[in-house]
Structure 1
Amino acid sequence: MPDARFLQIHSLHGYSAVLLNRDDSGLAKRITYGGEIRTRISSQCLKRHWRKADSEHALQQIDGATASIRSRETVTRRVIEPLEKDGVAPETIKAISTAFQTAVYGDKGDKRSNRQPLLLGEPEIVYLAEEAQKIARSHGGDAKAAEGAAAEWVKNSKTNLKELRNACAMPGGIAAALFGRMVTSDVEANIDAAVHVAHAFTVHAEESESDYFTVVDDLQQAEDDAGADHIGETELTSGLFYGYVVVDRGTLLDNLGGDTAVAGEVAARLVSLIATVSPGAKLGPTAPYGYANWMLVEAGDRQPRSLAEAFREPCKPATSTAAERAALYLERVDAAYETGEARRLMSLDGATMPGSVRLPSLNELAQWSGAVMRTGSA
């Protein structure tokens, strides 16, 4: 049995008449691949929907996991506003706020417009709130003294936060443990991503249409203008998307403080989220919901490799055709590189893959993935 250093998760999802992920002009995101334009779903979009999913597979519901919040308002809402509710003097609050906002968000962080949304874990937020409370309790009646104490705290903040992170299993929360974090104002707060997510793209050339629509006034009288009160256009796309995710077990365990049980639960839930969570915009007019038609999970100790190359030449937009393409490509890779991954497959249309064991349900696929991540062996 191979060591499970990496878990690779491949999927095929089909959607019709949707607008899953838009660019800055409101059109579907695209990528040119193999000389053809494909519809694309960004990795950032996928990760956010998995991270925020509120279902039986939610990452936040894992026992032992701590929450993460990405916002430019975290210090304001969780650190400063409690001081206001406690009746701390406004001048003292201002001094503490300036110090803590700049410590967390950078030199110009005292102004909201200068802050970037930053991912903070619940342990970090609680620590910041407690430190602010200490300063307020000690110097609440003396704004000048509070300002000095806050400035002194800022000088030592990076060291203190580093000690907190070293002492805490998941300081940045579950989201940072999985998807990483970059903090430009404090490089030691950076967290390497354990889950690597590729942009999903259609295995065939784009299928797109401009949807013309009108809005009609319900109270319009017969003698009034018969035309619509509003006319507009939006883009709709259809497609079969190939998705690819890699979980680095070593990095995940580092980020989870070595907790193998939580790592196993993360893998099981992640497989389920990938299969069942749709990254859809325009929910009302398109109902962009769907489950994976096909999923392949691989466990091994060699460098991961995507199956995207199987679709460099666009194929027929059918799951069976795409699965055949993936199988043929994987067969060639196996022959050339002999990487020896253990594989499990779930397919709605009975597809097969080289060296894989077919499992009848998503639950069994998720449980196998969790066991592999927990034990480190396939």
Structure 2
Amino acid sequence: MPNHQYVEFHILQTVPPANLNRDDQGNPKEAFYGGVRRSRVSSQAWKRATRIEFDKDLPKEERSTRTKQIAKQLAGRLKTRTKLDTEQANRLAGALLAPLGITGGRRDGDTAYLLYYGYGQLDAIVDLVADQVEQLTGLDDEALRETAEGLEVADKLKRGHPMGVALFGRMVADISGLNVDAAAQVAHALSTHQAVQESDYYTAVDDANEKGETGAGMIGRIGFNSATLYRYAAVGMHQLAENLGSGAAAVDAVGQFARAFALSMPTGHITSFAHRTRPSLVVVTVRDDQPVNLVSAFERPVPTNTDAGIAAASADRLADEYQRSVRQWGDEPVYTAVSHAFDDGKGALAAAFGANLAFQELVAGLDKVVSRAWKQA
């Protein structure tokens, strides 16, 4: 078992006119890179899309959520399990969470910040009291508080992390013991070329207008752009195994992450643009040294007038940068695989990353490689 191992994902994905991730003005986010403006999708936006995609096929008890409403959710589970009424469930939930010392929010029962945890962890807290709710709810406030302090509520949030929390981590500023170091690093997605922001002026007709009545029912504007994006993420298998307490669980989680990261899509203004696409290229690498973001392939922006198309030219750039990096630093990964939708006439992609695989074959190959190192850990 290596001391450190990183699974990397390099993705090229072309998105049509869209506003995936807006700034404070409502326009698509941008970044200045390589001397020109690029389209940008923040890591936070794509991580959330990945989390949603990741959780949708998991059993409910293995899913996770990020919310200020942990007390409300715990009370709901207490009601379901023990048949307490709403007032009793809210009182007991508040008492159970009070010893954690989580800063309260503006609304009664809310926390001051979003807390990321698993539904299974809430169920474990309910397990602590499920068979004694009558005794607990019969106590006065002071006695209930003292009893709750003797329960291992914090321990239930420190252990048994779902895959989502193990991958994306948890930061609790005022309770360091609840922090979970993220196993996944996700870069801001960046266009491989200069991107131009445009504006859509639109109107909506009032369908109930009388015949001959003119004028729009509403008028608006929305910013958009289109881009071929380079997306990058790295998962530290060592950290993932530590967070989950099992190498076998880490192997399963990284395979789930591979699918979720590749298939996820931020949904900003999606009903207006229907912008969901599939990646044109997915490269997976496994390294025993350190993760390497290959965005430097696009520091010189890909020309937008290339005959081959921006996506194909970007794929060739990525292949060249990968081979150049390996030659320069001698840091060839222990495993490399690619799944792409290009006609690799010059063989650049095959020379850099190997034979073109169906995506499921790529994930299966990744599973075999990480299983050898981590299955028994």
TM range (shorter): 0.7 to 0.9
TM-score by length of 1: 0.86
**CA spacing shift, 1:183–1:357, aligned 2, 3 Å:** same
1:286 CA drift (Å): 0.7
CA distance in 2, matches of 1:294, 1:268: 17
Q: Is contact 1:200-1:242 (8 Å) kept?
A: yes
Q: Is contact 1:17-1:238 (8 Å) kept?
A: yes
Residue 128 of structure 1 corresponds to which residue in structure 2?
Answer: 125
Q: Which of 345, 348, 356 does residue 359 from structure 1 map onto?
A: 356
Matched, 1:39 2:39: yes
What secondary structure is seen at the aligned counterpart in 2 of 1:358? Answer: coil
Amino acid at match of 2:279: A
1:271 CA drift (Å): 2.1
CA distance in 2, matches of 1:277, 1:193: 19
Residue 102 of structure 1 corresponds to which residue in structure 2?
Answer: 98
1:273 CA drift (Å): 2.3
CA distance in 1, matches of 2:297, 2:109: 46
Matched, 1:281 2:297: no
Residue 307 of structure 2 corresponds to which residue in structure 1?
Answer: none
TM-score by length of 2: 0.86
Structure 1 unaligned runs (5+)?
Answer: none
Number of equivalences: 361
Q: Which moved more, 1:100-109 or 1:40-49?
A: 100-109
CA distance in 1, matches of 2:65, 2:99: 17
Q: Which of 68, 73, 89 does residue 72 from structure 1 map onto?
A: 68
CA distance in 1, matches of 2:11, 2:336: 13
Matched, 1:324 2:312: no
1:114-172 Cα offsets, whole Å, 9 max, x none, are: 53221122332013223454663214334x2xx22432245445xx2454467x5xx23
**CA spacing shift, 1:253–1:64, aligned 2, 3 Å:** farther
Residue 190 of structure 1 corresponds to which residue in structure 2?
Answer: 179
Q: Which of 332, 339, 348 does residue 341 from structure 2 map onto?
A: 348
Residue 151 of structure 1 corresponds to which residue in structure 2?
Answer: 145
CA distance in 2, matches of 1:113, 1:59: 24
1:29 CA drift (Å): 1.1
Matching of residues 203-352 of structure 1 within 5 Å: 203-224=192-213, 226-260=214-248, 262-317=249-304, 318-341=310-333, 342-351=335-344, 352=348
**CA spacing shift, 1:64–1:335, aligned 2, 3 Å:** farther
C-alpha RMSD of the superposition: 2.8
1:105 CA drift (Å): 6.5
Structure 2 unaligned runs (5+)?
Answer: 305-309
**CA spacing shift, 1:64–1:150, aligned 2, 3 Å:** same
**CA spacing shift, 1:107–1:238, aligned 2, 3 Å:** closer
Q: Is contact 1:80-1:97 (8 Å) kept?
A: no
What secondary structure is seen at the aligned counterpart in 2 of 1:274? Answer: helix
1:178 CA drift (Å): 1.0
1:249-298 Cα offsets, whole Å, 9 max, x none, are: 111111221142x3333222322223222223222221011000011111
CA distance in 2, matches of 1:229, 1:95: 49
Q: Is contact 1:60-1:174 (8 Å) kept?
A: no
Amino acid at match of 1:126: D
CA distance in 1, matches of 2:110, 2:246: 38
1:13-67 Cα offsets, whole Å, 9 max, x none, are: 00111111112221111111112111111111111112112xxxx4464589822
1:223 CA drift (Å): 3.3
CA distance in 2, matches of 1:289, 1:125: 34
Amino acid at match of 1:39: S
Q: Is contact 1:124-1:172 (8 Å) kept?
A: yes
CA distance in 2, matches of 1:30, 1:131: 48
Q: Is contact 2:190-2:231 (8 Å) kept?
A: yes
1:221-248 Cα offsets, whole Å, 9 max, x none, are: 2332x11111110011100000001011
Sequence identity percentage: 24
